Amino acid sequence: MLGGIISEMPWIGQLAIEGSKANVLLKSAVDNFDKNHKDLLCLFSTLERGPMYKSVMDLPMIEGDQIIMLAILLSNALHPKNEQRSKAIKNGSYVEIKSHKEAEDFLK
Protein backbone atom coordinates (compact mmCIF):
# COMPACT_ATOMS: atom_id res chain seq x y z
CA MET A 1 0.00 0.00 0.00
CA LEU A 2 2.79 2.45 0.89
CA GLY A 3 4.40 1.78 -2.51
CA GLY A 4 1.17 2.82 -4.21
CA ILE A 5 1.01 6.07 -2.28
CA ILE A 6 4.65 6.84 -2.99
CA SER A 7 4.30 6.08 -6.71
CA GLU A 8 1.41 8.59 -6.87
CA MET A 9 3.81 11.26 -5.55
CA PRO A 10 1.20 13.30 -3.63
CA TRP A 11 3.82 15.85 -2.54
CA ILE A 12 4.04 17.25 -6.08
CA GLY A 13 0.62 18.87 -5.79
CA GLN A 14 1.43 19.99 -2.26
CA LEU A 15 4.51 21.92 -3.44
CA ALA A 16 2.24 24.33 -5.31
CA ILE A 17 -0.01 25.00 -2.29
CA GLU A 18 1.25 28.01 -0.36
CA GLY A 19 1.62 27.08 3.30
CA SER A 20 1.53 23.31 2.79
CA LYS A 21 4.20 21.35 4.67
CA ALA A 22 5.97 20.43 1.43
CA ASN A 23 5.89 24.03 0.22
CA VAL A 24 7.12 25.41 3.56
CA LEU A 25 9.92 22.82 3.80
CA LEU A 26 11.20 23.57 0.31
CA LYS A 27 10.87 27.35 0.67
CA SER A 28 12.69 27.26 4.00
CA ALA A 29 15.55 25.17 2.58
CA VAL A 30 15.91 27.46 -0.45
CA ASP A 31 15.78 30.61 1.70
CA ASN A 32 18.39 29.14 4.05
CA PHE A 33 20.71 28.24 1.18
CA ASP A 34 20.27 31.64 -0.46
CA LYS A 35 21.00 33.44 2.81
CA ASN A 36 24.01 31.39 3.87
CA HIS A 37 25.67 30.61 0.55
CA LYS A 38 25.72 33.90 -1.33
CA ASP A 39 29.42 33.33 -1.98
CA LEU A 40 28.67 30.09 -3.87
CA LEU A 41 25.98 31.78 -5.93
CA CYS A 42 28.44 34.58 -6.73
CA LEU A 43 31.15 32.06 -7.66
CA PHE A 44 28.78 30.19 -9.95
CA SER A 45 27.73 33.46 -11.59
CA THR A 46 31.38 34.34 -12.15
CA LEU A 47 32.18 30.92 -13.62
CA GLU A 48 29.17 31.19 -15.92
CA ARG A 49 30.17 34.79 -16.84
CA GLY A 50 26.54 35.73 -16.52
CA PRO A 51 24.25 37.71 -14.29
CA MET A 52 24.40 37.29 -10.53
CA TYR A 53 22.26 34.40 -9.33
CA LYS A 54 20.13 35.50 -6.40
CA SER A 55 18.73 32.06 -5.60
CA VAL A 56 19.72 28.43 -5.92
CA MET A 57 16.42 28.01 -7.78
CA ASP A 58 17.83 30.19 -10.61
CA LEU A 59 20.81 27.93 -11.30
CA PRO A 60 20.79 26.31 -14.75
CA MET A 61 20.63 22.77 -13.39
CA ILE A 62 17.52 23.61 -11.34
CA GLU A 63 15.80 26.36 -13.36
CA GLY A 64 13.03 26.85 -10.80
CA ASP A 65 12.05 23.16 -10.85
CA GLN A 66 10.70 22.41 -7.38
CA ILE A 67 10.84 18.64 -7.97
CA ILE A 68 14.57 18.78 -8.73
CA MET A 69 15.17 20.98 -5.68
CA LEU A 70 13.16 18.66 -3.41
CA ALA A 71 15.07 15.61 -4.68
CA ILE A 72 18.43 17.34 -4.14
CA LEU A 73 17.33 18.41 -0.66
CA LEU A 74 16.34 14.85 0.28
CA SER A 75 19.48 13.38 -1.28
CA ASN A 76 21.62 15.76 0.77
CA ALA A 77 19.66 14.83 3.90
CA LEU A 78 20.46 11.16 3.27
CA HIS A 79 24.18 11.93 2.92
CA PRO A 80 24.83 15.08 4.98
CA LYS A 81 28.58 14.53 5.34
CA ASN A 82 31.14 14.14 2.58
CA GLU A 83 32.25 10.80 4.06
CA GLN A 84 28.69 9.48 3.79
CA ARG A 85 28.40 10.66 0.18
CA SER A 86 31.75 9.08 -0.66
CA LYS A 87 30.62 5.74 0.79
CA ALA A 88 27.33 5.95 -1.08
CA ILE A 89 29.17 6.66 -4.34
CA LYS A 90 31.51 3.71 -3.77
CA ASN A 91 28.69 1.27 -2.97
CA GLY A 92 26.53 2.55 -5.83
CA SER A 93 23.65 3.89 -3.73
CA TYR A 94 24.28 7.59 -4.43
CA VAL A 95 22.05 9.15 -7.08
CA GLU A 96 23.16 12.29 -8.88
CA ILE A 97 20.09 14.29 -9.85
CA LYS A 98 20.54 16.13 -13.14
CA SER A 99 17.04 16.26 -14.62
CA HIS A 100 13.37 16.39 -13.76
CA LYS A 101 12.96 12.71 -14.67
CA GLU A 102 15.88 11.68 -12.45
CA ALA A 103 14.36 13.73 -9.63
CA GLU A 104 10.98 12.03 -10.02
CA ASP A 105 12.63 8.59 -10.17
CA PHE A 106 14.59 9.38 -7.00
CA LEU A 107 11.46 10.51 -5.17
CA LYS A 108 9.46 7.37 -6.04
Whether pLDDT at 1 is above 70? no
Domain range summary for the chain, segments of one domain joined by +: 2-107
The per-residue pLDDT for range 49-100, each reduced to its tens digit, is 888 899 999 998 899 999 999 999 888 888 888 888 889 889 988 888 999 9
**pLDDT at site 42:** 93
**pLDDT at site 3:** 45
Whether pLDDT at 6 is above 60? no
Percentage helix, strand, coil for the chain under 3-state DSSP, each rounded to 5: 70, 0, 30
Helices 21-36, 38-48: crossing angle, 10 deg rounding: 70
